[in-house]
Amino acid sequence: MDNVELKHRAANVRKNILRETANAKSGHPGGSLSATDILMVLYFNVMDITPENAGSIDRDRFVLSKGHASPALYAVLAEKGIIPEEELLTFRKMDSRLQGHPNMNTVPGVDMSTGSLGQGLAAADGMALANKLSGNDHRVYVLLGDGECEEGEVWEAAMAAAHYKSDNLCAIVDINGLQIDGATKDVIGPEPLDEKFKAFGWHVIYADGHDYDALNASFAEAKTVKGKPSVIIARTVKGKGVSYMENQAGWHGKAPNEEELQIGLKDLEEE
């Protein structure tokens, strides 16, 4: 898909993120908006997932380790035609499939139930190793947050993936510099993440997480790497595309009200 269409579709995804969280009066819009362009490139240009094979393991798989960004995942699945777009407004409602953290048992295209931060990379490790052992040559992708990388399990999983030479595994770290309690550098300070992953035996790639050409090139490079897993260090903007949310930690887990929703929708329409 070319960049112009990706941009238009990404704007619709971002609008739906706002609608989901505003309608539910809860959720995590900031980190969902920062991750949108990464997910767009993955689902429309990189992975071979379709509405027809969404229920199969015989395809590329994706783990949203930062599971609180589920509004972005659901909106992308709807944009892809895997779930109905009108279902997005059931987000976080009683008896809805679309809960605040994704459930692999109920939502087509969701490959891992996530939300407890730090666990997604370990699950993706297992999928990648299982693919190797079974002769399945499909790839596994996992998206982490930079604040999430303060969790120790992330680094246990990183060590394991390098040990098993999981070159069919690609992690992406959404580095927007903010988490629920403020700037990551002030909370614990996980940087420099690139040097840490290098020390753990990973191939490191750098990208602007909102630049489609850079993201496409990064995923293409990861596919060429042999004998070690790859990680894309993606610099992003929390709340990307919505004027009052950009670079504001307060929008990590706060839903817009009706007035704020309309302002955000207008911002995205103008963009």
Q: What is the residue-wise DSSP string for 208-240?
A: ETT-HHHHHHHHHHHHH--SS-EEEEEE--TTT
Whole-prediction pTM: 0.97
Q: What is the 3 state secondary structure string of 81-148?
A: CCCCHHHHHHCCCCCCCCCCCCCCCCCCCCCCCCCCCCCHHHHHHHHHHHHHHHCCCCCEEEEEECCH
Q: Is the pLDDT of residue 183 over 90?
A: yes
Mean pLDDT of 246-266: 97
Structural domain span for residue 206: 3-270
For 113, phi and psi rounded to 5 degrees?
Answer: -75, 120
Mean pLDDT of 91-97: 97
- DSSP-based helix, strand, coil % in the chain, nearest 5: 50, 10, 40
Query: pLDDT tens digit string along 190-231?
Result: 999 999 999 999 999 999 999 999 999 999 999 999 999 999
Displacement of CA 102 from its chain's centroid (Å): 12
Candidates 50, 16, 234, 44; CA nearest to 143 is 234
Q: Is the pLDDT of residue 271 over 90?
A: no
Q: Is the pLDDT of residue 162 over 90?
A: yes
CATH number for 37: 3.40.50.970
Q: Is the pLDDT of residue 81 over 90?
A: yes
Query: Domain tally for the chain?
Result: 1
Say if residues 74 and 43 touch (Cβ distance below 8 Å): no
